[in-house]
Structure 1
Amino acid sequence: MYLEYWKLKRKPFSNTPDPSFYYHSRQHEEALAKLYYVISENDGAGLLTGMYGCGKTMVAKMLLSQIAGMSIPVVCNVMPEMSSVDLLRTVARAMGYSAPATRAELITDALTEAIENAIISHSTRGRQTVLFVDEAHLITNPNTWEALRWILNLHNNESLLFTLIISGHPELERQVNEIPQLAQRIAVRCMLGPFDQMDTASYIRKRLSVAGSERDIFRDDAISVVYQLSGGVPRKINTICSSALALGATTQREKIDAGTVLEAVKKFAIV
């Protein structure tokens, strides 16, 4: 355990999406602003794409905290080969409907009616329903996309009753574009990519500061190597830096330098 050696209060580079470690990069702030806009303006749907490990889940968590007072969030994590019935069941259960567990008993009409009633009930209480569909690039069944489009079409005489946020890997944008009826409903599109070297340095220092560090533990040459090896991907940055801190504590280094990073990467077979 390296926390005591480096005088840290908590692990600075855990890969769990803890909002207290959120780094306000320009691209993440822009994505947050766009997605908040589509929800607050009740403007249909938003699309969030990005490489694996670039912070989509963190952005979603931050967005959830921002809309807590005005909306009812419903989170659906897509599984491989998810059918339309599986999707509707997941959404219905997240809204409090006790959908039967036995597949033979699942009736699409009953599920859609339950979802529609829940959304209307939220609306009459002045609360907007926001559905977050994560890992949506895993959707391969056209009927599953059609189920999402059906939910998105729910409206009263004045406005939409529902906002859809779809999140996934970069190929998701192509998948959505192949469904014109859905693509036309996407009001905002956000793409998260790797950090540049400046953001990588600021990201590392921010996380160390939040963890309780009162000094620069990583030398500039170490940060340069972390950036080169990670390609600026936050999740890779976390893994490399955590390993470097562990090795540095074990070998009682005063600071983490480039050599320590390279040694840690080799020792722990990270890249």
Structure 2
Amino acid sequence: MNTSLYNAHFGFHERPFSLSPDPDFLFWSKAHTRAFAVLEFGLVSRAPLTVVTGEVGTGKTTLIQALLRQVEDDATIGLISNAQGGRGDLLRWVLNALDVEAPEGADYVSLFQTFQSFVLQEYAAGRHVILIVDEAQNLGSETLEELRMLTNINSGKDDLLQIVLVGQPELRDLIRHPSLRQFAQRVSAVYHLEPMDLPTTRAYILHRLKHAGGSGEEFSASAIRHIHEEAGGIPRMVNKLCDLALVYASSADAPAVDEATIRELIDDGLILKPFRDPLLLSGAIDPFGKAAE
């Protein structure tokens, strides 16, 4: 069934639980408000490194998009997502994000000089450079250290480059590793987005329903409680469950989603939960894949 059909059934003007990051739907929970404040603090204070982490689906990318809407005109911003590779590859990602042409076949030194010249030119023009790296846990320790080295570009007391790292909990574990102690010392602020509790999940669902033109009564209290338990407080999982539940309820011509609807779609196997390595969660192995000492 086309999900747009349930809009008419419930009186929505758009899907309230789309999985695509949308700052217009951003729910300012206490955790998201604090995370955003940390990001803003990093930019205003010209912090060399700011880090925000959270589980998959907690709304980190949506926060980035909201942040980009508020950045002043005197900043040049580069956004990198899912960057990987070895030494030199990072600089190519960075230059590409900033729309700076890299010399063909350039070695690492040439790439660095190109990047440094660009940053200095922006500074001379009264602008500063902000580099936002999403899914930064994919970079690895060597590449993170390379990022730290980039922040050494400065002019007197001014930091010319700011880096914002956003990633999954593994990123926080990486930064804590002894091999990255110099990196950790340059991080001005770290914030970790925790999953939502039940009252926050309830408020989140109500917010999205009303933003889409609903009454807020499209889900029973028991349905919301079951959604929270199944989703583990992760906003993206909440969206998946709510979206499918509205499909089920409208196909049955039901006035609202009840707990039976949630149980039915779970029993039908429509939701796949992400796998989390129990050894990593328990600390039996570190994020580098080694046995914990």
TM bracket, shorter-chain basis: over 0.9
Aligned to 2:111, the other structure's residue is in SS state helix
Unaligned stretches of 5+ in structure 2?
Answer: 273-293
C-alpha displacement of 1:267: 2.7
Tell me the equivalent position of 2:118.
118
Structure 1: 5+ residue stretches without partners: none
Per the alignment, residue 260 of structure 1 pairs with 261
Q: Percent identity?
A: 29
**TM-fit CA distance, 1:98:** 2.0
- Tell me the CA shift for residue 78 of structure 1: 2.9
Which of 19, 23, 30 is residue 34 of structure 2 equivalent to?
A: 30
- Normalising by structure 1, we get a TM-score of 0.93
TM-score w.r.t. length of structure 2: 0.86
CA contact (8 A) 1:95 1:115 kept: no
In the alignment, which of 88, 108, 114 is matched to residue 85 of structure 1?
A: 88
Report whether the alignment pairs 1:176 with 2:175.
yes
Please give the secondary structure, in 1, of the residue aligned with 2:238.
helix
Q: CA deviation at 1:20?
A: 0.4
Q: How many residues align?
A: 266
In structure 1, distance between residues paired with 2:224 and 2:201: 8
| Residue 50 in structure 1 maps to residue 54 in structure 2 | yes
- Separation (CA, whole Å) in 1 of partners of 2:16 and 2:87: 40
Per-residue CA distance 1:131-176 (angstroms, 9 max, x = gap): 111111112361x223211211111012110111111111211212
Q: Which amino acid aligns with 1:67?
A: V
Which amino acid in structure 2 is aligned with residue 155 of structure 1? Answer: N
Which letter does structure 2 place at the counterpart of 1:269? L
Look up the SS of the partner of 1:130 in the other structure: strand
1:97 aligns with 2:130: no
Indicate the residue corresponding to 1:230 in structure 2. 231
Asked whether the 8 Å contact 2:95–2:115 carries over to 1, the reply is yes
Q: How far apart are 1:23 and its partner, in Å?
A: 0.4
Aligned residues of 1:84 and 1:145 also touching (Cα < 8 A) = no
Bigger shift: residues 168-177 or 200-209? 168-177
Q: Supply the RMSD in Å over aligned alpha carbons.
A: 1.6
Aligned residue number for residue 163 of structure 2: 164
1:68 Cα deviation from its structure 2 partner: 4.1
Task: Determine the C-alpha separation between the residues in 1 that align with 2:121 and 2:87.
Answer: 23
Distance in 1, Cα, partners of 2:32 & 2:46: 21
After TM superposition, the structure 1 stretch with the greater mean CA deviation from structure 2, 230-239 or 42-51, is: 42-51
Q: Measure the CA separation in 2 of the matches of 1:197 and 1:70.
A: 41
Aligned to 2:16: 12
Q: Deviations over 1:157-198 (max 9, x none)?
A: 121101111111112112122311111000000100110001
CA distance in 2, matches of 1:20, 1:66: 13
Question: Measured at CA, do residues 152 and 74 of structure 1 come closer, stay the same or move farther in structure 2, by a change above 3 Å?
Answer: same
For structure 1, which segment, 61-70 or 5-14, has the greater mean C-alpha deviation from structure 2 after superposition? Answer: 61-70
Aligned amino acid, residue 39 of structure 2: L
Q: CA 1:44–1:137 in 2, change beyond 3 Å: closer, same or farther?
A: same
1:201 equivalenced with 2:205 (yes/no): no
Q: Which moved more, 1:224-233 or 1:69-78?
A: 69-78
